[in-house]
Amino acid sequence: MILVTGANGFVGSALTARLASGRVGVRAAVRRPPTARQPGVEHVAAPSLSADADWRRALTGVRAVVHAAARVHVMRDDARDPLAEFRSANVEGTVALARQAAAAGVERFVFVSSIKVNGESTPPDRPFSANDVPQPLDPYGISKLEAERALGDLARETGLPVVIVRPPLVYGPGVKANFFALLKWLQRGVPLPLGAIHNRRSLVALENLVDLLATCVEHPAAPGQTLLVSDGEDLSTTELLRRLATALGKRARLVPVPQQALIVAARALGAGSIAQRLCGSLCVDIAPTRRLLGWAPPVSVDEGLRAAAEAFLREARG
């Protein structure tokens, strides 16, 4: 039996379906009950992510845990003390689950972390590696780093085999937030001042991330590792928009505004962080992941973009 936390979420729901399709017993920890029964999936109520959460019932008979539940990053966090809130859920909640998993005899704990542990940007020719000195810059990234370190301490204390996976931006069917906004703007034919962006960014299709997580549950070389993941092809923002428009059956209306002018204007409007994501580079090196696990992304960037676009169009048609 494999326990997936955050099984209502974007990554957790896709992983649950993938594991169940492989005829593996799956227990999905959810905050709200599903509307329909999933063959091969047992649903249990997920406790809150906190230091005093009781996971004992959910962990009964479980041999592996994939911890995808988290307090997620948001662009505008209105919490009075965001770091304290992230620490409560992402650090204390993770440690509580992992400690109870160790006590229950769980054989593997896979933690979905974030590339934000490494930092927010790279030179185009110097991708992040798992061995880089972490440089998280926001409360979410800090909490994920602290959770990773706490899991390392717990692994040494209890012998619990831990695997850490740090994805960059994840996209796919059902994607929301900024990627959804890009789909909407491209579908509507909105002119975008992003026709001259020469950055490089790593992304990961939902199917590729889920495939790696499923691999980490079983592969004998995974425990004790911190693994980076991506589609294996880095894109500029301009190229991403063109290929995403193609997936939508549209022509991208991109205005070639000079990149530096765009950054200056965005900062003047209080949107500097958005400009950084659109114009800055963030690349990851997945060669060690490939070598260690004999793994390769099963879908290409274009296949991943097409899956996201088709799901968006189905939803738009109602």
Selected catalytic residue, list 111, 140, 171, 295: 140
Query: How is residue 130 written in tokens?
Result: 């798992």
* Number of other residues whose CB lies within 10 A of the CB of residue 28: 26
Residue 101 near residue 65 (C-beta atoms within 8 A)? yes
Structural domain boundaries of the chain? 2-166
Lowest mean pLDDT among 72-76, 173-177, 182-186, 270-274: 72-76
- Whether 73 shows a pLDDT value over 90: the answer reads no
Confidence band (pLDDT; 50, 70, 90) for 275?
A: confident
Residue 234 near residue 286 (C-beta atoms within 8 A)? no
* Number of other residues whose CB lies within 10 A of the CB of residue 75: 10
Question: Taking Cα atoms as reference points, which of 86, 97, 123 lies closest to residue 4?
Answer: 97
Spell out the long-range contacts of 267-276 with Cβ–Cβ below 8 A and sequence spacing 24 or more: 273/75, 274/75, 274/178, 276/120, 276/121
Question: Taking Cα atoms as reference points, which of 48, 39, 135 lies closest to residue 96?
Answer: 48
Rounded to whole angstroms, the Cα distance separating 217 from 214 reads 5
SS3 of 47, please?
coil
pLDDT at res. 271? 67
Question: Taking Cα atoms as reference points, which of 47, 165, 146 lies closest to residue 100?
Answer: 47
User: What are the tens digits of pLDDT across the range 156-201?
Assistant: 999 999 999 999 999 999 998 889 999 999 999 999 999 999 999 9
Is 140 noted as a catalytic residue in this protein?
yes
To which residue do tokens 């793994």 refer? 295
Backbone φ and ψ for 197, nearest 5 degrees, come out as -100, 125
Confidence band (pLDDT; 50, 70, 90) for 32?
A: confident
Query: How is residue 4 written in tokens?
Result: 């997936």
Question: Does 2-166 carry CATH code 3.40.50.300?
Answer: no
DSSP per residue over 66-91, as a string? EE---PPP-SS---SSHHHHHIIIII
